[in-house]
Structure formats: C-alpha cells, structure tokens
Amino acid sequence: MSDHPIQGLMTTAMESLKEMIDVNTIIGDPVETPDGSVILTVSKVGFGFAAGGSEFVLESTKGSGGSGGSGGQSGGSQHPFGGGSGGGVSITPIAFLIVSSNGVKMLHLDESTHLYEKILDLAPQAVDKIQQMMSKKDQNSQNKDQQQNNQSAYNGPKTDLEF
C-alpha cells in the first residue's frame, strides 16, 4: 500500500515538534553563580498538533461514474489531495530551583498559588515569636507575683508616722 499524502504531513509536523521539546526545555540548563549556587529554570510546556485534509474523487474518462466507495478511487496510485498540518509550543517559566550550600529552595514566579509553601517556610519563625511572647508573659506574671509578695510582706496595721 502506498503512503498517503497526509501521512507525510503528520510525520513532518511531529518530527519538528519532537526536535523542539526535550528535557532541557522543561528543566532549563543549569546556571552557576559566583557564590557557588546553581539555578535551574522550571517551565510549563504545552504543545498542540492538528492535521487535516480532503481527498477528491477523480472522474474516469471511461465513464465509470466514480462510485462513492471507500477510498474514492479505483486502483489509481495518484491521490488528488488537499490538506495541511500545524503545531505550536508554549513555554512558560513557572519557578526557579536554587541549589546552594544552605540547601535547595524553590522560588515560584506566581506568588499567589503557593501560599501553603510560604506558610510552611514561615512556620518556624512563627513558633519562635509565639515562644518569645509566652516567655514575656511568664516573666510579667512572675514580676507581678513578686511585687505582690513584696507588698504583702507586712500584714500589720497601718499607722501614720509623724515627724
């Protein structure tokens, strides 16, 4: 069976898309900074593909009338064909992965969608602040108790002193 023209269109478009998309497109090439950190770009990649065509029935000069059967041709090797194909790629950076001596950090470009991650990052600081507040409260209550103890040390009657 001979190759159909739409097969060539689809093969060409798919091979072109395959050449454009590889792992370095999604996780970019690493960039090393002077302080020794390595930065990787993380991207969202979307691609689409479409192909279409139509095949026409050739009218025979022998008067066969061109039956509308499957294929529309009776044994001919030529395909009267019209068609096209296309594709597209969208690459959007969404984050940077920073690897340094301090650890690995993900820096998102869209700040609103990563609230939970920010909360987790700030949790240790929040716990420290709460502990500081509780220790201040404990110190204040101890100071008040101490002042009350100092004031209540003499329980005798109060007398005015005259000089």
Instruction: Single out the residue of 71, 67, 69 nearest to residue 80, CA to CA.
Output: 71
Domain boundaries in the chain? 1-60+67-109, 111-150
Instruction: Single out the residue of 70, 51, 68 nearest to residue 59, CA to CA.
Output: 68
64 contacts 74 by C-beta, under 8 angstroms: yes
Pair type for strands 31-32 and 81-100? unpaired
What pLDDT is attached to residue 38? Answer: 92
Q: CB within 8 A of 31, min separation 6: which ones?
A: 38, 39, 40
Would you mind telling me the total number of residues written for the chain in this entry? Answer: 163
What pLDDT is attached to residue 24? Answer: 67
Quick: pLDDT tens for 36-68: 999 988 888 887 878 788 877 777 655 544 444
What pLDDT is attached to residue 57? Answer: 75
Taking 70 as the pLDDT cut, the residues of the chain under it are 1-2, 22-26, 60-79, 111-117, 148-156, 158, 161, 163
- Judge residue 91's burial from the number of C-beta atoms within 10 Å of its C-beta, 0-12 exposed, 13-18 middle, 19 or more buried: middle
